[in-house]
Amino acid sequence: MNFDLDKISEMLIEYLPRVAGALLTLIIGFWIIGWLAGYLRKTLEKRNVDPTIRPFLVSIVSVGLKVLVLLSVANQFGIETTSFIAIFGALAFAIGLALQGSLGHFASGVLLLVFKPYKVGDLVEIGGGQTGTVQEIQVFNTILLTLDNKKILVPNGVVTSNVITNISGQGIIGVELTYGIGYNDSIDKAREIILKVGKECPYILDEPKQAVVVAELGDSSVNLATRPFANSENYWATFFYMQEHVKKEFDKGGVSIPFPQMDVHMDKD
């Protein structure tokens, strides 16, 4: 095999500076992007930007700048970037048609991050009835953690197409409670017991004041409703405390909690 040293030398002289320049651009460019991403992350932390949004923004900026660096490197080798962008656009369009659902969830994720109907740590009801504490808002899904420690992934598109109920996002929350008593029991005595338990509960706030009202005259019980307010993070603690201690105090005070039953009367011929 014959080698034309002159041609090889010419090629080296022509392309070696380009290769060196491209590698230098790639290394320096990626190093600067890494530094900028770190700086952006620290800036977002200092400004107390929602922890859910930080990685999303940093990732978008980092990927966008890396694409620009790669286009610059391609241009140094004489590749027409306009043609490259056209091919990339056609490819992106084809992928977009194949992933319409995923792109819809992505767009919904962006809307959730922008408008913030809920944030990490909020107790919510989303996706047509899924209830839990928001653990993470991802690009395509919202992750909920239920009371029994189940992890639920709700697609963001499903979230934005349904009613969103932010149960705890306001800081304080009213805990809806209903207690049924017998028709022969004293409403005033039952009300006194419920208020006494509420006053002893360590989670219930003094304001707004707790009240107890007759909500319904049911088939087999008089239903008393109360809505004590607590800090959002104490919702379940308040709920369970009231349920247990009201029952115990009802037992002590002789207040009955009726259950559905049927009296059968038989006529003798």
Please report, for the domain that includes residue 246, its CATH number. Answer: 3.30.70.100
- Cα dihedral sign, 197-203-204-205: positive
The answer to the question of residue 263 being in a domain is no
Question: Is the per-residue pLDDT at 83 higher than 80?
Answer: no
Q: Is the pLDDT of residue 189 over 90?
A: yes
- Does the structure show a pLDDT above 90 at 196? yes
Q: What integer is the mean pLDDT of 149-177?
A: 85
Domain tally, the chain: 3
Query: What are 212's strand-pairing partners?
Result: 226
Q: Give pTM, 2 decimals.
A: 0.53
For the domain that residue 141 is a member of, what is the CATH number? 2.30.30.60
CATH number for the domain harbouring residue 22: 1.10.287.1260
12 and 90 fall within a common domain: yes
| 25 in a structural domain | yes
Question: Is residue 155 domain-shared with residue 201, that is, in the same domain?
Answer: no
pLDDT tens per residue across span 117-149: 888 888 888 877 888 888 888 777 888 888 788
Q: What is the pLDDT of residue 99?
A: 45
pLDDT at 94 over 60: no
Around 236, how many Cα atoms within 13 Å sit in the side-chain half-sphere? 9
State how far the alpha carbon of 90 is from the alpha carbons of 60, 95, 114, 219, 263, in Å: 21, 9, 29, 67, 75
- Check: CB of residue 259 under 8 Å from CB of residue 192: no
Say if CB 162 and CB 127 are below 8 A apart: yes
Q: Specify the pairing of strand 151-155 against strand 165-166.
A: unpaired
98 pLDDT band, cuts 50/70/90, is: very low
195 and 122 co-located in one domain: no
Q: What percent of the chain is modeled with pLDDT above 70?
A: 76
Residue span of the structural domain in which 136 resides:
118-166
Which of 185 and 169 is assigned the larger pLDDT?
185
Is residue 143 domain-shared with residue 201, that is, in the same domain? no
> Do 176 and 161 fall into the same domain?
no
Query: Distance (Å, rounded) from C-alpha 78 to C-alpha 82?
Result: 12
